[in-house]
Structure 1
């Protein structure tokens, strides 16, 4: 060794972390998550890679945004485990998406056991890696304005054909393990409330008939075994059903589908499908009826 020192420019540093920048951009631009919080999320994922969970962030980039969003939610829970400043409840949910992605045994206990050293290491990754490589994206995220001209290093893109659909399905299927019968052991009133919370109203375009099987296959590909029951509009054999109700096994599937909006649009086999949360008739706001003045 001749002791020669090499200087890495900021652009070269960003280029080295182009995959990390791409995931961070999805978090703050597409999913509208808090840019500062996302620095810690990225640092946690980088820390996992250093702990032996290789290519974790690269795998994340191949997933659809709604799954990345839920992985980020799990990351926040993990950060609470390693940071003593955050209250941690023993009732906190486990991390099935993260577990499925790493294909190794990992749980919240993994982070709890390492909390004495993990958070300091994550803080160092925030300061030493995330801020230098992602601060330009963070600044744009804080102001809500993203300009391609400010991206001095191109963001990596994954072609749709490269998305690992089997990985998406395995992750989504795992999310419902142990909770396939969410209504068991509850009262009838609670059952109905829970059922309504897990129900979506689906509408189809007239002239573009969609079958129950097409819709089932679409969501099974995304979430695995996620549908408890499916109720298509009853019509005559020569008529087209224009709406349906889908009861999912978990309300979390509805949150993933809507991703913060009131109505979501999908294209299934080239046909448009709109979905919104089902609202029972007795919960809908009643139209105001003014009294009639018969003396007029």
Structure 2
């Protein structure tokens, strides 16, 4: 959204927030619901708003209509675009992926034109100026209160996590035991010396520990306009890697719509390691249609909220621009 230019009208903060309601909603989803880095998420929002300004229609509205999982993937792609804009070079990519085709979800979303990483490299100077302007004119004013709350929430959660780790470490440390030795009582930790008469067992259980399904899951995305069906996915992986799929969950859509992603649960983690072959993301071609696959990262569950805090409108020193 862009605030109409006017020299005779000044919006109140409440009016400004209302004008940018859907922008605030999407930013809150990134920084609060998905637990993404609040400052990085502000930059992601600036990129999406800049795309709207240069002609890509209804970017924020389209993204808000998607499932959380796809929004998180789109944010990852936006971070890749920001890397190019800020550094003037492409980030390291797996050898089987061309630089022009590493943002499949953004390409599917922006069907008006051929959007690619090369686009951001070619127009990086214009993008840098545009992003800085949007951060100053829109993001700082419309999103800072949400960002500050997310930063404080994350800090409180990090402190709570650290305390849990310290408590767990203390509880796992060997506790002192009273050992009778030659009529004397002494305090010791762990296995005593041979004269205590106590035998310590070092045998460990070899019962297999079940691997949770999320740790055996891959997330795959498909290009819009090139529908991939469940039977094609099963046939491709079955032919290439044998009977490796435990279950496959395609995105639920209406009968006349296309699934844009799927989750594949494998019988074994080793299947995922073999498929990725040391890379974070790989691209396949299934019956002439591109499919991108990576390890599934489940959305972090939101813990109980810490005590409410009042918004502090002090922006962090650096936003990375």
> Do residues 113 (structure 1) and 116 (structure 2) align?
no
Q: TM-score, normalised by structure 2?
A: 0.51
Give the distance between the partners of 1:223 and 1:140, measured in 2 at CA: 35
In the TM superposition, residue 252 of structure 1 has moved relative to its aligned partner by 3.6
Q: Who is 1:25 aligned against?
A: 28
Runs of 4+ residues deviating >2 angstroms:
84-93, 175-184, 218-231, 248-254, 258-261
CA displacement 1:129-162 (0-9 Å, x = unmatched): 11110001000110117xxxxxxxxxxxxxxxxx
TM-aligned CA deviation for residue 178 of structure 1: 12
Shift of 1:109: 1.1
Q: Distance in 2 between matches of 1:110 and 1:87?
A: 12
Match of residue 223 from structure 2: 174
Q: 1:175: how far off? A: 7.4
The answer as to whether partners of 1:46 and 1:57 remain within 8 angstroms in 2 is yes
Whether the aligned pair in 1 keeps the contact of 2:44 and 2:75 (CA below 8 Å) is yes
| Residue matched to 2:168 | none
Per the alignment, residue 125 of structure 1 pairs with: 134
How far apart are residue 123 of structure 1 and its match?
1.6
Paired residue for 2:148?
139
Question: Once the 2 structures are TM-superposed, how far is the Cα of residue 260 of structure 1 from its aligned partner?
Answer: 5.4
Q: Distance in 1 between matches of 2:141 and 2:90?
A: 29
CA displacement at 1:116 relative to structure 2: 1.7
Q: Distance in 1 between matches of 2:48 and 2:76?
A: 12
Q: CA deviation at 1:88?
A: 3.3
**Uncovered stretches (5+) of structure 2, i.e. residues with no partner:** 1-5, 155-219, 276-283, 285-290, 302-321
Q: Is residue 2:299 matched to residue 1:259?
A: yes
- How far apart are residue 108 of structure 1 and its match? 0.8
- Once the two structures are TM-superposed, the CA of residue 84 in structure 1 deviates from its matched residue by 2.4
Provide the rounded CA distance (Å) in 1 between the counterparts of 2:74 and 2:45. 11
Contact 1:176–1:226, Cα closer than 8 Å, also in 2: no
Name the TM-score, length of structure 1 as normaliser.
0.55
Which has the higher Rg, Structure 1 or Structure 2?
2
How many residue pairs match? The answer is: 198
Q: Which runs of 5+ in 1 are unaligned?
A: 146-170, 203-214, 232-244, 262-296
The residue aligned with 1:14 is: 17
Aligned partners of 2:108 and 2:224 also within 8 Å: no
**Which piece of structure 1 moves more, 29-38 or 115-124?**
115-124
Give the corresponding residue for 1:292.
Answer: none
CA distance in 2 between partners of 1:253 and 1:57 (Å): 25
